[in-house]
Amino acid sequence: MARGEAKRTPPAHLLHLVFTLPRELHDIVRSHQVKLLGILIHAAALSLAKLARDPRYVGGKIGVLSVLHTWTRALIYHPHAHCLVPAGGLSHDGASWLSPPRGFLVPVTALSRIFRAKFMALARKSFPHVSFPESVWHVEWVVYGKPSLQGTERVLQYLARYVHRIAITDNRILSMVDGQVTFRYKDSREKKWKTMSLPVMEFIRRFLQHVLPRSFHKVRYYGLLAPCNRHLLKQARSLMTDEEVLPDRIKDSHHNFGPAKPTYVLSPSCRLGHLILVRAIFYSGRAPP
Q: Name the residue ranges covered by the structural domains of the chain.
A: 2-166+210-234, 168-209, 244-289
Beta bridge partners of 139: none
Q: Find the angle CA(95)-CA(100)-CA(104) to the nearest 5 degrees.
A: 160
pTM of the model: 0.76
Q: If pLDDT is split at 50, 70 and 90, which confidence band does 152 have?
A: low
Total number of residues shown for the chain: 289
Mean pLDDT of 41-50: 96
For the four alpha carbons of 251, 252, 258 and 261, in that order, the dihedral sign comes to positive
DSSP code of residue 48: H
Mean pLDDT of the chain: 82
In the predicted structure, residue 69 carries a pLDDT above the cut 70: yes
Q: If pLDDT is split at 50, 70 and 90, which confidence band does 253 have?
A: very low
**Greatest CA separation for the chain:** 84
pLDDT tens per residue across span 95-140:
899 988 776 788 999 999 999 999 999 999 999 999 999 999 999 9
Q: If pLDDT is split at 50, 70 and 90, which confidence band does 258 have?
A: very low
* Burial of 77 (C-beta count, 10 Å sphere; 0-12/13-18/19+): middle
> Among 44-48, 231-235, 243-247, where is mean pLDDT lowest?
243-247
Mean pLDDT of 201-216: 93
Q: Is 271 left (phi over 0), alpha (psi -120 to 50) or beta?
A: left
Mean pLDDT of 69-96: 91
DSSP code of residue 25: G
Q: If pLDDT is split at 50, 70 and 90, which confidence band does 163 have?
A: confident
Q: Helices in 127-251 by DSSP H: which ranges?
A: 152-164, 200-208, 230-240
Measuring CA to CA, how many Å separate 122 from each of 4, 111, 128, 133? 32, 16, 10, 15
Note the pLDDT of residue 87: 86
Note the pLDDT of residue 124: 97
Amino acid of residue 84 = L
Nearest-angstrom CA–CA distance, 283 and 251: 10
Contact 25, 40 (CB under 8 A): no
DSSP H or E stretch at residue 19: strand 14-20
In the predicted structure, residue 275 carries a pLDDT above the cut 80: no
Give the other-Cβ count within 10 Å of 32's Cβ.
14
